[in-house]
Structure 1
Amino acid sequence: MRDQLVLALLAVLIGGIVGFLLFVPFVAASYRRGGRLPLSRLAMWSAALVYFWAIWTYTLLPLPDPDTMVCAGVNLNPAQFVADILEAISAPGAFLTNPAVLQLLLNVALFVPLGCFVRVLGQRGVVVSAVLGLSISAIVEFTQLTGVWGLYPCAYRVFDVDDLLTNTIGAVIGSLLALALPRAMRAGVASTSAAPGGEVTRGRRIYAMVSDLVAALIIQGSTGILVQLWLQFVVQDRSAVIAGTIAGVTGTLAAIIGTLAVVMATGRTIGDIAVGVRFAGGPGDEWVARLMRYLGGIGGYLLLSALPGGWGGLAFVFAVLSLVLVFTRVGPGGLPGLLARRRLSDARRGASRPR
């Protein structure tokens, strides 16, 4: 039971990391296609991402020690599970606790979510679910059969054609079960229809703010990693690597400079671009307005978080204030709109140019 929990947590961890890296492109693709991103759709795609990694963690992990592993067998009899079930029926003890029965039920259950995701997110039926279920199961089984494509000298788990059948059955069952969901719910999750009139909602603004933060953290983290690698393998300064100060400072500067460059060049933050909005109109010089837009958003947060000592805590206060202003009479433009004296609008309605 403990091992199963560890594998589940590992799938959530990997799925969370990949989801974090893909968040901004996913938001951008959703708004580019339909001008909206329902929270239910984001939640379903997040669940699907974790599920994808769960398939691999549960079927391939834990990897064995090459020195102690034992080569597994092969089952090419497509009806072997039927014989196992019949044997389980006649065997003493509880039927549902029989290892053969449990194996069958788990193989079916593992692919039930796949059929549900295909139905709800992909708007495809039983046939597509069956084909995908069979295809993914085949990839998993052949990965096991080949010892992770040559990583091991032989298969460390049994290659079983019954798994191909039961996994496919699970995907079909999932597709049929998804029909029980209200049609409106399934349509809402899968919908990419545009918001009426390109309306800039508060939810849209929140997505932009989160995208700005995620993009800044990715810039900061990736820069820090590159600096650490440079210090480790080029400079070979182990003490600097352990301290992490150089990487931290460089990463923070990269995030500040990178996000500022995007705003000054386009008038929009990365989040604004992702959700398709811009701050336009209003008095004053456009270049100053762009700088104010930056300081009223992700720029202000990054600069405050870079302050030494306990002053970095002001970044949290700034973030809370920014979020509160979005939900006040100020409107979705929030603090950036106030400082830049610009109105938040759909980017497709035109752009202002710096004078």
Structure 2
Amino acid sequence: MTNAQLASIQWGIFLSVVFLAPQLLFRQLTFRGATVTIYASMLFAATFLPMQTEPPRQAVQPVPFQWVADTVRDGQIAFDQMTLNVLLFVPLGAMLMCWGRLTAGRAALTGGGVSLLIEGSQLLWANRIFDVDDLITNTTGTALGWLGALAAVKVLARVTTTTAAQPPRSLAGVR
């Protein structure tokens, strides 16, 4: 783990504590509020805090699927970065499915909008880059999170229904 990744995690935890402490003090903490606060803090830390030591070659990367060529050129690190971008937005998709009651399309649009907001604001940072691939991977992560949450809800509903439909077992004859 690099120092930038470690700093990102530490700042995410710090920001989560800073924003959750007042909620705890005033007894207004809910599971949703805590989840959203922790996710937003980690999202902020992962997208803004790990600064590169050298400036990027360009401020905007407009070529879709450039990560494929980057993986061929730079090796595993470009693929890992793409995968982590997808995983970063999976919780957003799950939250939108469970709590937002949005359709898959609207959840993907919301994820794309959040990603566009992040990428657009990164234009203002000296060592950050606006990357079209990030928009694609983040939107994909949101959609996958929505689908994963839907699958989990369906499986849980099926297990609950199956368990509730079975008659209680009799203990007669058991010694």
**TM, length-normalised to structure 1:** 0.39
Contact persistence 2:116–2:135 (CA under 8 A): yes
SS at match of 1:146: coil
Q: In structure 1, list runs of 5 or more residues that go unmatched.
A: 28-41, 92-96, 148-154, 187-355
Contact persistence 2:89–2:139 (CA under 8 A): yes
User: Which residue pairs with 1:79 in the alignment?
Assistant: 65
Q: 2: CA distance between counterparts of 1:56 and 1:118?
A: 18
User: Which residue pairs with 2:122 in the alignment?
Assistant: 144
SS at match of 2:102: coil
Supply the AA of the counterpart residue of 2:115.
Answer: S
Change (3 A) 1:25 1:13: same
User: 1:124: Cα distance to partner?
Assistant: 1.9
Once the two structures are superposed, the pairs formed by residues 287-326 of structure 1 within 5 Å of their partners are none
User: Which residue pairs with 1:16 in the alignment?
Assistant: 17
Q: What's the RMSD between the two structures over aligned residues?
A: 2.8
User: 1:9: Cα distance to partner?
Assistant: 2.7
Q: In structure 2, list runs of 5 or more residues that go unmatched.
A: 158-175
Change (3 A) 1:7 1:84: closer
**TM, length-normalised to structure 2:** 0.73
The correspondence for 1:176, drawn from 136, 147, 150, is 147
Q: Which runs of 4+ in 1 moved over 6 A?
A: none
Deviations 1:163-200 (A, max 9, x none): 101110000000000012235979xxxxxxxxxxxxxx
User: 1:55: Cα distance to partner?
Assistant: 1.0
Q: 2: CA distance between counterparts of 1:52 and 1:157?
A: 19
User: 1:82: Cα distance to partner?
Assistant: 3.8
Q: 2: CA distance between counterparts of 1:128 and 1:16?
A: 31
SS at match of 2:101: coil
Change (3 A) 1:165 1:157: same
Q: 1: CA distance between counterparts of 2:141 and 2:36?
A: 16
Change (3 A) 1:184 1:44: farther
User: Which residue pairs with 1:240 in the alignment?
Assistant: none
The correspondence for 1:114, drawn from 79, 92, 99, is 92
The correspondence for 1:123, drawn from 101, 104, 107, is 101
| Larger RCO, structure (CA 8 Å, separation 6 or more) | 2
Change (3 A) 1:62 1:182: closer
SS at match of 1:102: helix
Q: 2: CA distance between counterparts of 1:70 and 1:124?
A: 39
Once the two structures are superposed, the pairs formed by residues 1-355 of structure 1 within 5 Å of their partners are 1=1, 2-23=3-24, 24=26, 26=28, 42-63=30-51, 70=55, 72-73=57-58, 74-84=60-70, 87=72, 98-147=76-125, 155-182=126-153
User: Which residue pairs with 1:317 in the alignment?
Assistant: none
Supply the AA of the counterpart residue of 2:45.
Answer: T
User: 1:50: Cα distance to partner?
Assistant: 0.8
Supply the AA of the counterpart residue of 2:108.
Answer: A
Q: 2: CA distance between counterparts of 1:82 and 1:63?
A: 23
Supply the AA of the counterpart residue of 2:136.
Answer: L
Change (3 A) 1:99 1:120: same
Change (3 A) 1:11 1:184: same
Larger radius of gyration: 1
- Percent identical among aligned pairs is 32
Q: 2: CA distance between counterparts of 1:126 and 1:158?
A: 28
Q: 2: CA distance between counterparts of 1:172 and 1:146?
A: 28
SS at match of 1:78: coil
User: 1:123: Cα distance to partner?
Assistant: 2.2
